[in-house]
């Protein structure tokens, strides 16, 4: 990406918090000057006494290349490309490793307190592989994209009306190479793209790919916000992965962490010896629960840093959406804090009003700058209007994770089936608020770690009941209003919790039941995507109706989904191991039902009870419906029917 020099107005917008492309002029960029290729370095450090550029190219001598401070606290320097080019000394820099080291740099900052500190470039486009943490020169203008058709079509899509079936994954542990070698982005692409296509996923969500120093943080403690992590290769290899996914018709969502950052020496903390990105008051800056620092959303430069970063991934990496991590932490001043550890806002409340403004402005900027791109909030409270338009007082997100539904349904399926009748509200209560926001139903990585058990192991009973119960759960999840998200490994019944240091247990597909579950999830995914009734109307009662909602004694729920026109899919779910051979479900009109998917089929590992003929509605009232019919409802199973409405 070539240097785009800022005029006075752009500089002012950066300091005011209105800049959406600060990465254009801050950081390290190639620039042509009098026919010579050079690199332009810019870093904001308003209270630094001195700033120098250091690296292997100058023997890390902080006296060699001092930077010049501009009137607004930005330090700048321009150096010839030859200084970083291995051709300057072919013998010394003959190896790729030596050549890369030559293009590594940091800022040596004489801080306000008189101490020197070495910082990575906050806007650096690449960083060294951990445990090193220097920034690396990288021109992002060189990759040739091949997804123009996808990017154009995305502008016209209405996300709320589209199928969204998200495969959440951690790039380092999905699959590995020989001897446990971590695959690079390009190698992952060659395996991941056909897998997602075959399985029928519409979206993939990557846990953070921004550079982070500690593997165990899973990417949620970021040190290089503009740098794709070197664990999996180069920035262009990540672009290749996204490009290939787009060409295969699969959208890409990145987890993004705008709430907090770690205290590493090379990072943002006290960047020039004073708080630049965090609040000056420790009660507003510290997140004791995580040992990190919170961004100061009242500081214009910090807001421009984050806003530009969001737009950077959407524009420069063609990402289709960002899932904002820990939004509750941003919205509430007292989140995760004890009395005395936080300060109320000017009205005496606990809402972070600066964060609210930041989120609203950022979501408006994404809508304006990147048509068709989405933002998703991981927000775990009842904060109102998260997905409502900013003009209506909302935060402006496209979607919000439905944490209440997730907690209810997982606590329900953990019960022995004999006790589920006493907790029937856990599978029905979510419809009391299902249309208050645009929701994603998340079975995420957070639910299969920290002794919570894998998706399979959450179910009680023997092995048959575990697999049958999981198939039933996935059926209910797929027919419930809301977009879908499943963490990797859940599709084939990973037995153990997710581990962040080794690949998924793909060997399980060589054993019985696991490939059957995978086959069922594949069929379920394709049904969801191909039937508009399953996904088109997720935001109102026009797309959903209970058929049987009160049968707590038998722990059954039956629903009908509609595309808002003439398409209907009905589904009945039995959460007990007792089969019901003549189970009557209500129907809102005269119709015929044809079974199209049954989780109890033998090919999916079930007992093979199914409805083999077309079923006809009878004029027998059932739960306030004028019609009904009897179906075969297998044990611990979800059964789907295509509904053909009869003309009067």
Rounded to an integer, what distance in angstroms lies between the CA atom of residue 503 and that of residue 170?
Answer: 10
CA distance linking residue 545 with residue 613, whole number of Å? 24
Within its chain, how far is the Cα of 3 from the centroid? 30
Give Cα 54 distance to the centre of its chain: 36
Catalytic site residue from 378, 379, 538, 539: 378
Q: How far apart are CA 8 and CA 516, in angstroms?
A: 63
- Rounded CA gap, 518 and 406, in Å? 21
Identify the CA nearest to 289 among candidates 219, 212, 341. Answer: 341
Work out whether the CA dihedral 489, 490, 496, 498 comes out positive or negative.
positive
- 502-529 burial, b at 16+ Cβ within 10 Å, e below that, comes to ebbbeebeeeebbbbbbbbbbbbbbbbb
Contact 600, 607 (CB under 8 A): yes
Distance CA 372, CA 318 (A): 11
Q: Which of 430, 363, 370, 371 is CA-nearest to residue 399?
A: 363
Cα–Cα distance measured from residue 423 to residue 349, given in angstroms and rounded to the nearest whole number: 35
Q: Is 378 a catalytic residue?
A: yes
3-state secondary structure 271-318: CCCCCCCECCCHHHHEECCCCEEEECCCCHHHHHHHHHHHHHHHHHCC
Q: What is the DSSP letter of 591?
A: E
Helices (H) and strands (E) in the chain, counts: 13, 29
User: Which residues make beta-bridge pairs with 560?
Assistant: 545, 570
Supply the Cα-derived Rg of the chain in whole angstroms. Answer: 27
Candidate list 301, 325, 538, 595, residue with the active-site label: 325
H or E stretch at 399: strand 399-401
Q: Which residues pair with 78 in a beta bridge?
A: 40
Helices 514-530 and 185-199, axial angle in degrees (round to 10): 70
Q: Which residues contact 194 (CB under 8 A, 6 or more apart)?
A: 248
489 Cβ partners below 8 Å, 6+ apart?
448, 454, 455, 498, 504, 505
Report the run of H or E that residue 323 belongs to, with start and end: strand 321-324
> What is the Cα–Cα distance from 307 to 301, expressed in whole angstroms?
10
Rounded Cα–Cα distance for residues 55 and 598 (Å)? 62
325 among known catalytic residues = yes
| CA nearest neighbour of 225 among 334, 290, 320, 302 | 302
Q: Which residues contact 532 (CB under 8 A, 6 or more apart)?
A: 563, 567
Catalytic residues: 325, 378
């Amino acid at each position: 990406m070539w240097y785009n020099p800022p005029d006075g107005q752009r500089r002012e917008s950066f300091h005011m918090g209105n800049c959406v492309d600060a990465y254009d002029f801050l950081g390290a960029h190639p620039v042509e000057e009098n026919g010579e290729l050079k690199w332009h370095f810019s870093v904001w450090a308003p209270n630094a006494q001195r700033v120098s550029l250091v690296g292997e190219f100058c023997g890390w001598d902080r006296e060699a290349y001092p930077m010049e401070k501009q009137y607004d606290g930005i330090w700048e320097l321009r150096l010839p490309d030859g200084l970083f080019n291995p051709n300057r000394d072919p013998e010394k820099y003959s190896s790729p490793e030596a050549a890369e080291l030559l293009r590594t740099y940091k800022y040596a900052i004489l801080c306000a307190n008189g101490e020197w500190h070495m910082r990575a470039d906050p806007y650096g486009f690449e960083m060294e592989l951990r445990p090193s943490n220097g920034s690396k020169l990288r021109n992002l203008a060189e990759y040739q994209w091949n997804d123009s058709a996808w990017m154009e079509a995305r502008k016209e899509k209405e996300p709320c009306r589209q199928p969204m079936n998200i495969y959440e994954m951690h790039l380092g542990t999905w699959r590995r190479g020989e001897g446990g070698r971590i695959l690079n982005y390009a190698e992952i692409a060659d395996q991941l793209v056909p897998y997602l296509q075959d399985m029928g996923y519409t979206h993939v969500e990557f846990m953070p790919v921004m550079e982070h120093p500690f593997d165990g943080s899973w990417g949620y403690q970021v040190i290089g916000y503009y740098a794709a992590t070197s664990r999996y290769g180069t920035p262009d290899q990540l672009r290749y992965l996204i490009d290939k996914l787009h060409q295969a018709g699969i959208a890409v969502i990145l987890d993004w962490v705008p709430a907090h950052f770690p205290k590493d020496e090379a990072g943002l903390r006290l960047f020039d010896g004073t708080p630049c990105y965090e609040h000056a008051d420790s009660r507003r800056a510290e997140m004791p629960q995580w040992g990190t620092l919170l961004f100061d959303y009242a500081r214009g430069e910090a807001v421009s840093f984050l806003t530009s970063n969001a737009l950077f991934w959407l524009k420069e990496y063609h990402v289709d959406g960002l899932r904002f991590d820990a939004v509750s932490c941003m919205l509430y001043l007292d989140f995760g804090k004890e009395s005395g550890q936080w300060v109320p806002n000017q009205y005496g409340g606990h809402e972070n009003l600066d964060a609210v403004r930041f989120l609203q402005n950022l979501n408006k900027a994404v809508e304006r700058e990147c048509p068709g791109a989405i933002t998703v909030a991981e927000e775990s409270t009842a904060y109102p209007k998260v997905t409502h338009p900013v003009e209506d007082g909302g935060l402006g997100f496209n979607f919000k994770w439905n944490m209440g539904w997730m907690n209810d349904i997982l606590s329900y399926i953990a019960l022995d089936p004999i006790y589920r009748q006493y907790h029937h509200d856990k599978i029905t209560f979510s419809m009391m608020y299902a249309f208050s926001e645009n929701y994603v139903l998340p079975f995420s990585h957070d639910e299969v770690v920290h002794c919570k058990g894998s998706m399979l192991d959450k179910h009680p009973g023997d092995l048959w009941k575990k697999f049958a119960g999981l198939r039933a759960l996935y059926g209910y999840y797929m027919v419930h209003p809301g977009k879908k998200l499943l963490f990797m490994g859940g599709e084939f019944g990973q037995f153990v919790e997710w581990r962040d240091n080794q690949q998924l247990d793909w060997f399980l597909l060589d054993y019985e039941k696991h490939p059957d579950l995978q086959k069922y999830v594949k069929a379920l995914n394709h049904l969801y995507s191909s039937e508009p009734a399953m996904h088109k109307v997720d935001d109102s009662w026009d797309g959903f109706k209970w058929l049987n909602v009160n049968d707590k004694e038998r722990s059954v729920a039956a629903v009908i989904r509609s595309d808002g026109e003439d398409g209907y899919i009905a589904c009945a779910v039995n959460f007990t191991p007792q089969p019901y051979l003549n189970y009557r479900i209500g129907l809102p009109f005269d119709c015929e039902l044809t079974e199209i998917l049954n989780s109890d089929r033998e090919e999916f590992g079930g007992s093979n009870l199914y409805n083999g003929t077309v079923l006809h509605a009878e004029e027998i009232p059932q739960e306030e419906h004028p019609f009904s019919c009897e179906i075969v409802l297998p044990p611990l199973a979800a059964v789907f029917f295509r509904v053909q409405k009869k003309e009067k």
